[in-house]
A and B are shown apart, each in its own frame.
Chain A
Amino acid sequence: MATTVNPSTRSTTTEAHARREAWRRRLPLLPALVFTIIATQIPFLITIWYSMRSWNLLNPASDVFVGLQNYIAIFADRTFRQVAVNSVLYTLGCVLLAMLLGIGLALLLDRKFIGQGVVRTMLITPFLIMPVVSAILWSISMFNPSYGLVNWVIGLVGIPPVAWTSQYPFLSVLVALVWQWTPFMMLLVLAGLQSQPKDVLEAAQVDGASTLNTFFYITLPHLRRYIELAVLLGAIYVVNTFDQIYLMTAGGPGTQSANLPYYIYQRAFLGFDIGQAAAMGVVVVVATIVIATVALRLIFKSFMSTED
């Protein structure tokens, strides 16, 4: 995907003219490009620099070059490994559950019925609600042990109240995340469903294919691209989850429900350990690049297929 020559940029006139034209084309791009480089690449380079220093903000004298020692310390750190596993579990759990629910909801929405617009509007709302609010909503209104709605509902069938966020911190955060991300999955899958060629579906129906067969042999293969894209984009966002963990469990008890962003935050802003936090940040970026590369390839494929 790296360098394809753009046929429209070929010029037969003199080289100077071509160069001027190239700069004319580049000019509108430059402000955005320069801004993005300054805002994202330079901080990341500094992160790499900090990650090779032993620096605690509370102790300025500690700021010395230590090479890869921070990285060695991280991989020996059992907590780091635990929160890394948590990060993977949160991401996989959230993306898979949200996708399954999202496919279900998209199928329900993909037909004409009374109040379709209202139902769709209700269903996308959890994604629009400020994540901080959704965290408060779940930890207090829903999961509060004494007056939360969830305990009242399970009480109706005789289950004794549960202290959700302290007894099941991981599950509680996961529920809030799935609730937030299901609409995202639903919207992308719905776009896929609605882009299905109608004549193929009608032909299948005329040929007497059952609803289930039509779904598995026609709809699902068509949806594949949409599902892949939604899963990968969703994963990239969910890996960065911070708000829900910060507000619902503070990563606790201990670090049982922490993920990498939360742990890095703790090390940097509560432990003031700049070197270690930076090294962890670099590790997270490397891990993200793996998912991101696959996601980018897919997006590019979508783009190229929709272009003339």
Chain B
Amino acid sequence: MTTETLTTAPPTSTGTPKSAGPAGQGGRRVRSAALTVFTWIVALVFFMPVLWMVLSSFKQEADAASSPPKFFFVPTLDQYAAILGSGAGGYFLNSAIATLVSTLIVLLLAIPAAYAVSIRPVQKTQDVLFFFISTRMLPVVAVIVPIYVVAGRLRVLDNVWTLIFLYTAMNLPLAVWMMRSFFQEVPKEVLEAAQMDGASLMTTMRTILLPMVAPGVASTALLCVIFAWNEFFFALNLTAVNAATVPVMLVSTMTSEGLFLARLSAASVLASLPVVIAGWIAQKQLVRGLSMGAIK
């Protein structure tokens, strides 16, 4: 994927060769403008639910649940203040710990593993890769029962480390595959040169490889963050009070204050914000991550 086609371009070019006469070009420009307007309308309709949630979060309850809906209102930060003042911090802390620590462990495990399936490949590399990705496709419902029972016996239910363990397992295959696709872009000559100079494995890794794939590490981390932060099924079944994460908080807010739409919207915005921003930043690498590195 070339980056230049992704960036916003000035509106002058219609992207067609200049073979058409002046009349044809004028018609084309009108069509192009119409298509642009149409694209914007479609995008806004598609984005409307998100926009509506953000608007609702700045309303008073009476304005949020009004019929017909209110598009113009006096914005207020009351809902955000209420959420932040109601002890939501603990949930955010749990989510942050589970997400960041699991992502860190994933990277520590995945980077050497990806090295071993790309740069200095082990035997049966394909089998190893096949195994990793097949675990990503294992439905979580198939393992939730023993995980719940075993965690209960080990007394690690409602413990943030249980979530860290599971989120690491969940994201590790993705990270191995993604990091592998980044390692494969490192020119072979660079590595050969380092080897000729007698650099050790660790030195090569630290001084040559890692700096070259640093952007890859960053986008792999962002994807792991997205999946871990948004995870709900494990958090719902394995946590209660101490280790409950943000999605669990949202669900309990919804059941206890279901009719307080504005407050629920503010909580939803706060819950979504970290990952939405991470995703916006990682936009260009999103495709590679989602396709396990198969599409660049």
Contacts and interface: CB of A to CB of B under 8 A. Distances in A.
Contacts of A41: 135
Contacts, number: 333
Contacts of B64: 147
Contacts of B275: 128-130
A174 to B, nearest CB: 15
A285 B46 contact: no
Contacts of B35: 108, 111, 113
A3 B124 contact: yes
Q: Specify which of A28, A134, A187, A300 lies most central, judged by the most chain B CB atoms within 10 Å of its CB.
A: A28
A188 B265 contact: no
Q: State the main secondary structure of chain B at its contact with A.
A: helix
A6 B139 contact: no
A62 interface: no
A306 B296 contact: yes
A29 B82 CA distance: 48
Interface in A1-55: 1-6, 8-9, 22, 25-29, 31-33, 35-36, 39-41, 43-44, 46-47, 50
Nearest to A304: B126
B287 interface: yes
Interface stretch (A73-81, A164-172, A276-284): A276-284
A125 B214 CA distance: 25
Given A5-B123, A126-B47, A147-B67, 19 more contacts: A1-B130, A28-B116, A41-B135, A43-B143, A46-B149, A50-B146, A108-B35, A108-B39, A116-B7, A126-B49, A140-B258, A147-B66, A152-B68, A268-B148, A278-B145, A281-B144, A302-B295, A306-B294, A307-B184
30 contacts: A3-B126, A25-B121, A36-B135, A44-B146, A105-B46, A111-B35, A113-B36, A123-B47, A126-B47, A127-B279, A128-B278, A129-B50, A130-B229, A130-B271, A132-B247, A134-B49, A137-B53, A141-B49, A152-B69, A190-B287, A229-B291, A247-B251, A264-B141, A281-B139, A298-B294, A299-B133, A299-B292, A302-B295, A303-B293, A307-B184
Interface of A: 1-6, 8-9, 22, 25-29, 31-33, 35-36, 39-41, 43-44, 46-47, 50, 105, 108-109, 111-134, 136-138, 140-142, 144, 146-147, 149, 152, 155, 179, 182, 184, 187-188, 190-192, 194-195, 202, 205-206, 226, 229-230, 233, 236, 239-240, 242-243, 246-247, 260-261, 264-265, 268-269, 274, 277-278, 280-282, 284-285, 288-289, 292, 295-296, 298-300, 302-303, 306-307
